[in-house]
Homo-oligomer: A and B are copies of this chain.
Amino acid sequence: MKEVKIGILGFGTVGAGVVEGILKNGELMAQRSGILPIIGKIADLDIESDRGVEVDASLLTTDALSVINDSDIDVIVELVGGVTVAKEFVLRALRNGKPVVTANKALLAEAGRELFEASVKSGAGLYFEASVAGGIPVLRALRDGLVGNRIQCMYGILNGTCNYILTRMEREGLPFDEILADAQKLGYAETPPDLDIDGIDTAHKTVILASMAYGAPVPMSVVASTGIRGLSGEEIANADALGYRIKLLSIIKEGAGKIELSVEPALVPKTHMIALVNDSFNAVFVKGDIVGDTMYYGRGAGRLPTASAVIGDIMEAAVDRLHGVGSPVGITMMLQRDTLEYCAAEEIEKRCYIRLPQGDLAAAQDVLATQGIGIASVEESISVILTQPAREAAFVSAAAELGDAVRLRIEDVP
């Protein structure tokens, strides 16, 4: 039986989950793939805390570099998080010729090109399925199963915390702040919650998905990004009455040679599969020009779901190593071209939901008309206008004259 010796950097929630998964199902994985995964070393600054898994003390070290440099270790698993130390570790491992598995979306979104190029240069693979949508193997779907498809659009629910909050706001009719506080108490939201609820985490994942689909590392700066902070229950109730649900949506589209990327709370038709994704679940809806509509659904975070993806990557790294495959197709796919053309935020065409707390619908219609924005319907009872598609620039100009209007995107997911 062949073996793969794993060096884990970071023994936190996911690190402990990876160890648990391998202890539990390592033999099964060996039966399936012919390669037995073995925990070789685990590095963390804290090697005293109980992680809920049994690990021989001799495997633990506080010295991450000793793990990276250990010639006995075949694959490095980076679960340190953050973009400074983690980046140093990943680069060092790759340059040492050691394949790296990482779940670090921030690192990939901020420094992807540098890492991918280091992987190609050294011929050591970099595997990152766990960085997007946790346990859902969606990056593999894009890379392998859908490789024959031009990706026309993707819609992602990529942040479990936000989806959990939105689902509870809708079900219980309670305000954002109250649900957020409760989610923090229950461990569904971090303190501070900014990375999640301001859409930054979703933007990181959007960047990675788009890079895979379109073949170049996408810079974070091109993602027009808004979170769900302060979203009012009134909007959720109104959306419901109009046949929509509000989701924090990652929107990725290609059209006329340009890529459009946004993260924002959007109204999606209640009957669409993506609108049916509730609680802390994630999903990615992918439309390819050959396959048509597909969707991938599951847990986007958490100890074991994330570990499932990390373990899948470890086994892939091991199989690649066995076959002498260096930097795998996943990396070359991210480096097909130097750059992509992006749609500027103001150019993005969208429909909008506009609520006028003061209720002056007639005046608002005039303002919209002046900006060339068509009206799809006017809902007087709730002081809401649903528009036809128009450019963001027109909506921004209109907003200046609409006072305290609330505006949300409507995405009639195709």
Interface residue ranges, A against B (CB under 8 Å): 17, 21-22, 24-25, 28-29, 31-34, 129, 135-137, 140-141, 143-150, 215, 273, 276-277, 281, 288-299, 302, 304-305, 307-309, 311-312, 315-316, 319, 323-325, 329, 332-333, 336-337
Contacts and interface: CB of A to CB of B under 8 A. Distances in A.
A140 B145 contact: yes
A149 to B, nearest CB: 6
Given A24-B289, A32-B329, A150-B28, A294 B136 contact: yes
A299 B295 contact: no
Nearest to A299: B292
Instruction: State the oligomeric state as a number of copies.
Output: 2
Q: Which of A136, A141, A147, A273 has the most CB of B within 10 A?
A: A147
Contacts of A141: 137, 140-141
Contacts of A299: 291-294
B144 A312 contact: yes
A130 B307 CA distance: 28
Contacts of A312: 144-148
Contact of A304 (B144, B292, B298, B333): B292
B144 A137 contact: yes
11 contacts: A24-B290, A34-B332, A135-B291, A137-B140, A148-B315, A273-B297, A290-B304, A290-B308, A291-B309, A292-B304, A295-B295
A308 B323 contact: no
A298 B294 contact: yes
Contacts of A324: 323-324
A77 to B, nearest CB: 13
Contacts of A305: 290-292
A379 B141 CA distance: 45
Given A140-B141, A325-B323, A25 B294 contact: no
B34 A147 contact: no
Contact of A33 (B147, B293, B311): B147
Contact of A295 (B17, B297, B325): B297
Given A25-B150, A34-B332, A137-B145, A288 B308 contact: yes
B308 A291 contact: yes
A339 to B, nearest CB: 14
A24 to B, nearest CB: 7
Nearest to A30: B336
Contacts of A296: 294-297
B292 A295 contact: no
Contacts of A34: 329, 332
B145 A129 contact: yes
Contact of A135 (B21, B150, B294): B294
